[in-house]
Amino acid sequence: MLKLRGMTVRCPLVRECMAEFLGTFVLMLFGCAAAAQVKTSNETKGQFLSGNMAFSVGVMSAMYLTKGISGAHLNPAVTLSFCVLGKVSWSRLVPYSLSQVVGAFVASGVVYLVYYDAIMTFSGGVLTVYGRNETASIFATYPSDYLSVGRSFFDQVVGTSMLLLCILGLEEKRNTPAPSELVPVVVAGVVLGISISMSANCGAAINPARDLGPRLFTLAAGWGTEVFTCYNYWFWVPVVAPLVGGVFGSLMYLIFIDWQLPDPDQLERISTISEKLAKKQPVTTLEKGDELKAMHF
């Protein structure tokens, strides 16, 4: 493949931020474009499931695109959780998060340009957050009328907890890891599951960048300050709650799974005993203590 001399970025952090920007851009382009298509067509060109599937395809595509460079976090809640777990340096938290927010912002701008005529026709040229012809929800998430702030916060904590809880073990060799080339597919499936089961209340943002970037775009593009002041200044919920939920889900994974798995040395002994049992070879006295574990595994 063609590689121009001098075009390779030498600074690892800059390369990683570029990947996070582009990955989040791809994720949001798929998702917001699907939302625009469904909304402006009055659900004649897609329904509720369309947006959920588009975001999942966006996650999968973005991970295949960028995982080898930055790990494809695509989400400040994921980055924060990985920092807490010691998987990523804390020095990456702010640069990654800013790159993700900017990627989501730019993707929203592209979707706006692609669907500009449809948005203006559907809304009658009035860009608003409320009413039957509102179009702000194409980009950011908003709560249902029946939902309290406290309940919406809990909703986002639960959703993001499930995200981290379900993805942290995918590459754990001591457990049942997914094939590395299929990890993006599995993550996309997890995101789809969360979206189709927990998005009725307030859109299942589970990602501060996914919500804040598009909200900032709508502020600049003509929707005005209403995108931040509506629903009693609700905008902070999909920014803060996923951060709390991501850390909580990570702690759940540590306590219930990671700390309960055998250490690498024990795992190697169990593997050796399993092989001997399979071949009907004698087990030494030192190994007998692990024999039942080997049979269990």
Task: Give a yes or no: residue 255 inside a domain.
Answer: yes
Task: Give a yes or no: residue 47 inside a domain.
Answer: yes
What integer pLDDT is reported at residue 275 of this predicted model? 63
Count CB atoms within 10 A of the CB of residue 269: 18
What integer pLDDT is reported at residue 259 of this predicted model? 96
Task: Give a yes or no: residue 43 inside a domain.
Answer: yes
Q: Radius of gyration of the chain from Cα atoms?
A: 22
Least Cα distance to 110 among 166, 183, 29 occurs for 29
Task: Give a yes or no: residue 272 inside a domain.
Answer: yes
- Phi first, then psi: give them for residue 235, nearest 5 degrees: -55, -30
Task: Give a yes or no: residue 235 inside a domain.
Answer: yes
What integer pLDDT is reported at residue 3 of this predicted model? 72
Task: Give a yes or no: residue 289 inside a domain.
Answer: no
Decide: 208 and 95 in contact? Cβ < 8 Å: no
- Phi first, then psi: give them for residue 15, nearest 5 degrees: -60, -45
Q: Which residues of the chain have pLDDT under 50?
A: 286, 291-292, 294-295, 297
Domain count for the chain, please give it. 1
3-state secondary structure of 95: helix
Angle (CA) 100 72 11, round 5°: 75
Residue type, 102: V
Q: Where are the alpha helices (DSSP H) in the chain?
A: 12-40, 48-70, 76-84, 93-114, 116-123, 149-167, 183-197, 208-218, 226-233, 237-256, 264-279, 285-288, 291-296
With b for 16 or more beta-carbon neighbours within 10 A and e for fewer, the 15-41 pattern comes to ebbbbbbbbbbbbbbbbbbbbbbbbbe
Domain boundaries, position 147: 12-280
pLDDT digits over 172-209, tens only? Answer: 999 999 999 999 999 999 999 999 999 999 999 999 99
Residue 115: C-alpha distances to residues 9, 23, 108, 133 (Å): 34, 21, 10, 15
What integer pLDDT is reported at residue 7 of this predicted model? 83
CATH of the domain at 219: 1.20.1080.10
What integer pLDDT is reported at residue 6 of this predicted model? 72
Task: Give a yes or no: residue 292 inside a domain.
Answer: no
Task: Give a yes or no: residue 7 inside a domain.
Answer: no
